[in-house]
Amino acid sequence: AQTVTQSQPEMSVQEAETVTLSCTYDTSESDYYLFWYKQPPSRQMILVIRQEAYKQQNATENRFSVNFQKAAKSFSLKISDSQLGDAAMYFCAYRTPWGTSYDKVIFGPGTSLSVIP
């Protein structure tokens, strides 16, 4: 069974600085999707960034970028120029491969990010 692990329950970063959130996962599949979701205090689930496993190039989305290491099954999120609005719970997630008849997203336990003014 697929699992997602986030070893950092809490992280903090100074405003305007850079922070990296770690994520590892376990799967026997070769093709799959990885995501980072942001959950602010409102508890809405917001997609931050998405990575297809077959793509070697790391995904980027403005100040957010990932370091995808497929062999190591590692998928970290880097937030540059941190802003107060980045403070939230961040979930790493794995999605079963497209092309399978069953489909679900498996979430990690989350990392709570605080941004210090």
Partner 1 sequence: EPEVTQTPSHQVTQMGQEVILRCVPISNHLYFYWYRQILGQKVEFLVSFYNNEISEKSEIFDDQFSVERPDGSNFTLKIRSTKLEDSAMYFCASSEVVWGLPYEQYFGPGTRLTVT
Enumerate binding residues for partner 1 (CB under 8 A): 37, 42-45, 47, 50, 91, 93, 95, 98-110
Our CB check for partner 1 shows the closer of 85 and 117 to be 85
**In the complex, what is the shortest distance from the CB of residue 74 to partner 1, in angstroms, rounded to a whole number?**
19
Q: How far is the CB of 71 from partner 1 (least distance, A)?
A: 25
In the complex, least distance from residue 15 CB atom to partner 1, rounded to whole angstroms = 26
Neighbours of 75 (CB within 10 A): 28
Nearer to partner 1, 81 or 103 (CB): 103
The CA distance from 60 to 44, in Å, is 22
C-beta closer to partner 1: residue 11 or 106: 106
Phi, psi of 98 (to 5 degrees): -65, 135
- Least separation in angstroms between CB 114 and partner 1: 16
Residue 85, SS3 per DSSP: helix
Structure tokens belonging to residue 25: 């996962």
Cα 38 from Cα 112, distance rounded (Å)? 10
**Is residue 66 within 8 Å of residue 78, measured between CB atoms?**
yes
